[in-house]
Structure 1
Amino acid sequence: MTSPTVRERGRIDLMARFCEACWNVLANEMAVTDGATAPPRPEPDPDDVSWIEPPTCPKCGAFVRIYPTTYDRWVSLSAAEMPAKDVPEPFRWRLMRLPDLSRVTTDIVAVRVRGIDPLPGEPVVPAHRMMCVPERDEP
């Protein structure tokens, strides 16, 4: 029996076919493993023309970049790239533009670097939790 909620899931090459409940279980497990537990960015009001400030970490006050992952969860990333040799493997991310019909980038997702290790000098974006000083001080 097939559920009416079974459909292709994921943002890149549609990762798999799951029902809503099974997809949420899988995506939540991946998010916890990867540290992608940030709340989504608020949708800006289209009528508001005021400047949008970048979000800051509530623990350390540093600027963060919040991006969706390929599995529809959100991750807080550092504001600057670093060489891969300076970032431990569990904290390495890359930003990827999603293909679109136009030449204008419409969406960017965060992709965890895994499988093939990058070269030591290759730039990666560290997860903010690696850089957050209060998180390092907690037991």
Structure 2
Amino acid sequence: MGASRDGDRSACDECGETGVSVGERGRFRLLAWLCERCWNTFANEMAATDGATAAPRPDPGPDDVTWIEPPVCPECGALVRVYPTNYDRWVSLATVELPAKDVPEAFRWRLTRVPDLSPVPTDVVAVRVRGIDPLPGEPVVPAHRMMCVGGPGSPSRGERSGRH
């Protein structure tokens, strides 16, 4: 997916629009050259498919020293970890890692450090495990909705065990 160049402007891979809203999209891996409208459509479709529908964590100011409590699932009351995805949406993840064999394919996530020049991790994003299946014993982070015991968004018992 390469972008067409018009002088120093880029064209959207989807609609062909040129302008200042067109740019590289994706947190650390180039997903596409898209305008703002096409990017939001694409990212929202991915989020709906992946279940990445969590609200972003509060962004404290640099001088804010107040304690931020870990988020709690409104359905089951369990603690969750909320992370940004590589396509700029947010997902609620379980607080434990499990072997891949115990997590159905649709609920597997990994936490990945955003590459930068600093040896100190500055940002971590959640990436859905796709393409190549992990080894059965390899740890993955399940989406919280797999482990949630209540609420309309929780999967059926068959989905949780990997049987449909």
TM range (shorter): over 0.9
Residue 101 of structure 1, CA deviation: 1.1
1:129 matched to 2:121? The reply is no
Count of residue pairs the alignment pairs up: 138
Q: Aligned runs of 1:20-59 on 2, under 5 Å? A: 20-59=36-75
1:63 matched to 2:58? The reply is no
Deviations 1:15-66 (A, max 9, x none): 1100000000000000000000001011124333233221111111100000
TM-score under structure 2 length normalisation: 0.80
Equivalence for 1:118 = 134
Q: Name the Cα RMSD after superposition.
A: 1.5
Unaligned runs of 5+ in 2: 1-16, 157-164
1:87 matched to 2:103? The reply is yes
The structure whose Rg is larger is 2
1:12 matched to 2:28? The reply is yes
**Sequence identity, in percent?**
72
1:2 matched to 2:1? The reply is no
Deviations 1:65-115 (A, max 9, x none): 000001000000000000111100000000000111111100000000011
- Provide the rounded CA distance (Å) in 2 between the counterparts of 1:102 and 1:46: 19
Structure showing greater relative contact order (alpha-carbon pairs closer than 8 Å, 6 or more residues apart): 1
Secondary structure of the residue aligned to 1:96 is strand
CA contact (8 A) 2:145 2:155 kept: no
Residue 137 of structure 1, CA deviation: 7.9
- Provide the rounded CA distance (Å) in 2 between the counterparts of 1:28 and 1:70: 12
Question: Residue type of the partner of 1:117?
Answer: D
Question: Residue type of the partner of 2:36?
Answer: E
